Amino acid sequence: MTEQSLETRDMLLNVGPAHPAMHGIVRIITRLEAEVIREADVEIGYLHRGFEKMSEEVPFNGVIPYTDRLNYVSPLINNMGYCMAVEKLLGLTVPERCHYIRVLMSEISRVCDHLTCIGATAMELGAFTVFLYMIKAREFLWELVEEVTGARLTISYCRVGGVKADLPGDFAGRAQEAIRQTREVLKEVDKLLTRNRIFVDRMKATGKITQEEAVSYGITGPFLRSTGVSFDVRKAQPYAIYDRLKFEVPLGVHGDNLDRYYVRMEEMEQAMRMVEQCLAQMPPGPVGVSPETGEPIPAAEMVDKAKRGEIHSIAGRAAVTDPTLEGSGQSAHPAIGAAEKRVFLPPKEDTYGNIEGLMQHFKLVMFGHGIRPPKGEVYFPVEGANGELGFYVVSDGSDKAYRVRVRPPCFTIMAALPRLLQGDMMADVVPTFGSVNMIGGELDR
Amino acid sequence: MLPSQLCEALAARFPEAVLARHTYRNDATVTVRPEGLLAAARALKEDPLFQMNFLMDLTAVDYSAFGKRPPARGAFPSSGVEVRPEDGVPDEAPWPGPAVGERFEVVYHFFSWPLKHRLRLKVPVGEALPEVDSLTPLWAAANWFEREVWDMFGIRFRGHPNLKRILMYEEFAGHPLRKDYPVNKRQPLIGPVN
> Do A379 and B109 lie within an 8 Å CB cutoff?
yes
pLDDT of residue B59: 92
Check residue B70 and give its pLDDT: 65
**Residue A280: count of CB within 10 angstroms of its CB:** 8
In chain A, residues 364-423 whose CB comes closer than 8 Å to chain B:
366-379, 381, 388, 390, 392, 394, 396-400, 402-403, 405, 407, 411-412, 414-416, 419
Residue B60: what pLDDT? 92
By mean pLDDT, which of A324-328, A347-351, B73-77, B135-139 is the weakest? Answer: B73-77
Indicate the SS3 state at residue A29: strand
Average pLDDT over residues B103-113: 91
Task: Put the strands of the sheet holding A11-15 in their side by side order.
Answer: A11-15, A27-33, A36-43
pLDDT in tens, A54-68: 998 888 888 999 998
Instruction: Give B51→chain A minimum CA distance, Å.
Output: 12
Is residue A181 packed enough to be buried (19+ CB in 10 Å), middle (13-18) or exposed (0-12)? middle
At residue B20, the pLDDT reads: 84
Identify all chain B residues contacting A405, using CB atoms and an 8 Å cutoff: 57, 59, 107
C-beta separation of B56 from A381 below 8 A: yes
Q: Is A26 on the interface with B (CB under 8 A)?
A: no
If asked whether residues A95 and A201 sit together in one domain, one would say yes
Flag if B85 and A402 touch (Cβ within 8 Å). Answer: no
CATH topology of domain B1-67+99-194: Beta Polymerase; domain 2 (3.30.460)
Average pLDDT over residues A309-334: 70
Please give the pLDDT value at position A103. Answer: 92
DSSP label of A374: P
Query: What is the torsion angle, in degrees rounded to the nearest 10, for the CA atoms of residue A217, residue A221, residue A224 and residue A226?
Result: -160
Indicate whether A339 belongs to any domain: yes
Q: Looking at residues A122-134, what average pLDDT do you find?
A: 89
Q: CA-based angle A414:A416:A417, to the nearest 5?
A: 65
pLDDT grade, residue A264 (50/70/90)? Answer: very high
Cα distance from A307 to chain B (closest Cα, Å)? 26
* Same-domain pairing of A225 and A188: yes
- Whether A217 and chain B come into contact, CB under 8 Å, resolves to yes
Q: Which residue has the higher pLDDT, A320 or A303?
A: A303
* Same-domain check for residues A321 and A426: no
Contacts of B99 by beta carbon, 8 Å cutoff, 6+ apart: B19, B20, B31, B63, B105, B122, B124
User: Does A35 fall in a domain?
Assistant: no
A77-120, pLDDT tens digit by residue? 999 999 999 988 888 888 888 888 899 999 999 999 999 999 98
Q: Residues in chain A, how many? A: 445
B140–A374 C-beta distance less than 8 A: no
Q: Please tell me which residue of chain B has the smallest CA distance to A387.
A: B56
Give the pLDDT confidence of B134-168 residue by residue, as tens digits: 999 999 999 999 999 999 999 999 989 988 889 88
> Could you say which of A303, A334, A365 is where a domain stops?
A365
**Spatial separation of the C-alpha atoms in residues A90 and B89, rounded to whole Å:** 7
Task: Name residues whose C-beta falls within 8 Å of residue A256's C-beta, 6 or more positions apart in sequence.
Answer: A203, A204, A205, A206, A207, A208, A226
Task: Decide if A234 touches B, using CB distance below 8 A.
Answer: no
The alpha-carbon gap from A415 to the nearest alpha carbon of chain B, in Å, equals 6
- Cβ-nearest to B95 among A220, A340, A377: A377
pLDDT, tens digit, 9 for 90 and up, residues A390-422: 999 998 878 888 999 999 998 999 999 998 888
pLDDT at B191: 65
Cβ atoms within 10 A of the Cβ of A254, count? 17
Chain A contact probe: residue of B106, B111, B153, B194 with most A CBs at under 10 A:
B111
Average pLDDT over residues A66-75: 88
Q: Flag if A415 and B72 touch (Cβ within 8 Å).
A: no
Per-residue confidence (pLDDT) for residue B80, from 0 to 100:
61
- For residue range B52-100, what is the model confidence (pLDDT) as tens digits? 889 999 999 998 888 777 665 555 566 666 655 555 566 667 777 776 6
CB contact under 8 A, B57 and A57: no
The reply to whether A245 falls in a domain is yes
Q: Any CB–CB contact under 8 A between A180 and chain B?
A: no
| Residue A336 pLDDT greater than 90, yes or no | no
Alpha carbons B146 and B162: distance in angstroms, whole number: 10
3-class SS at B2? coil
pLDDT tens-digit profile of A133-179?
A: 999 999 999 998 988 888 888 888 888 888 888 888 788 889 999 99
What CA–CA distance (Å, rounded) separates A131 from A138? Answer: 10
B157: closest CA of chain A, how far (Å) = 17
Calculate the average pLDDT of chain A.
Answer: 85
Average pLDDT of every residue of chain B: 83
The whole-angstrom separation of Cα A96 and Cα A282 is: 8
Range from A123-137, B29-43, B85-99, B119-133 carrying the lowest mean pLDDT: B85-99
Alpha helices for A248-392 (secondary structure H): 257-281, 299-307, 311-314, 333-336, 348-353, 355-365
Q: Are A134 and A128 in contact (CB under 8 A)?
A: no
Those residues whose C-beta lies under 8 Å from the C-beta of residue B91, and which sit 6 or more positions away, are A91, A374, A375, A376
Query: Can you give the pLDDT at residue B1?
Result: 78
State residue B10's pLDDT score.
84
Tell whether the model's pLDDT for residue A374 goes beyond 70: yes
According to the model, what pLDDT value does residue B58 have?
92
Q: Do B25 and A378 touch (CB under 8 A)?
A: yes
Chain A residues touching B169 at Cβ < 8 A: 45
d(CA B162, CA A108): 40
Query: DSSP label at A204?
Result: T
Region A182-204: what's the mean pLDDT?
Answer: 90
Pick from A365, A383, A404: which residue ends a domain?
A: A365
| A269 and A339 part of one domain | no
pLDDT at B91 (0 to 100): 67
Q: How confident is the model at residue A289 (pLDDT cuts 50, 70, 90)?
A: very low
Which residues on chain B are in Cβ contact (under 8 Å) with A379?
A: 27, 57, 109, 118, 120
Of A293 and A94, the structure prediction assigns the larger pLDDT to A94
**A50 contacts in chain B (CB < 8 Å):** 176, 183
Domain boundaries, chain B: 1-67+99-194
For residue A42, tell me if it sits in a domain: no
Q: Residue B82 has what pLDDT?
A: 60
Both A304 and A234 in one domain: the answer is no
User: What pLDDT is stored for residue B147 in this prediction?
Assistant: 92
Min Cα–Cα distance to chain B from A357, Å? 17
Is A123 part of a structural domain of the chain? Answer: yes
Q: Confirm whether A132 is domain-assigned.
A: yes
Query: Is pLDDT of A288 > 50?
Result: no
Domain that holds residue A247: 59-284+373-440
- A429 and A329 both lie in a single domain: no
Question: What residues of chain B lie within 8 A of the CB of A414, using their CB?
Answer: 144
Q: What does residue B62 show for φ and ψ, rounded to 5 degrees? A: -95, 110
Examine the domain organization and report whether A81 and A214 are in the same domain. yes
Residue B79's pLDDT is: 61
* Residue finishing a domain among A338, A365, A392: A365
Answer for the pair A420, A5: CB distance below 8 angstroms, yes or no: no
Residue A428 and residue A306 share a domain: no
Number of domains in chain A: 2
CA distance A48 to chain B (A): 6
Question: A70 vs A16, A77, A418, B16, B183, CA distance in Å?
Answer: 21, 10, 23, 41, 19
Q: Is A353's pLDDT higher than 80?
A: no
A405 and A350 share one domain = no
Percentage with pLDDT > 90 across chain A: 25
**How does residue A322 score in pLDDT terms, banded at 50, 70 and 90?**
low
pLDDT for A381: 92
Helix boundaries (H) for A354-408? 355-365
Q: Do residue A56 and residue B90 have CB atoms under 8 angstroms apart? A: no
Pair (A81, A150) in one structural domain? yes
Alpha helix segments (H runs only) across chain B: 3-13, 37-46, 142-153
The alpha-carbon gap from A104 to the nearest alpha carbon of chain B, in Å, equals: 25
How many alpha carbons fall within 13 Å on the CB side of residue A291?
0
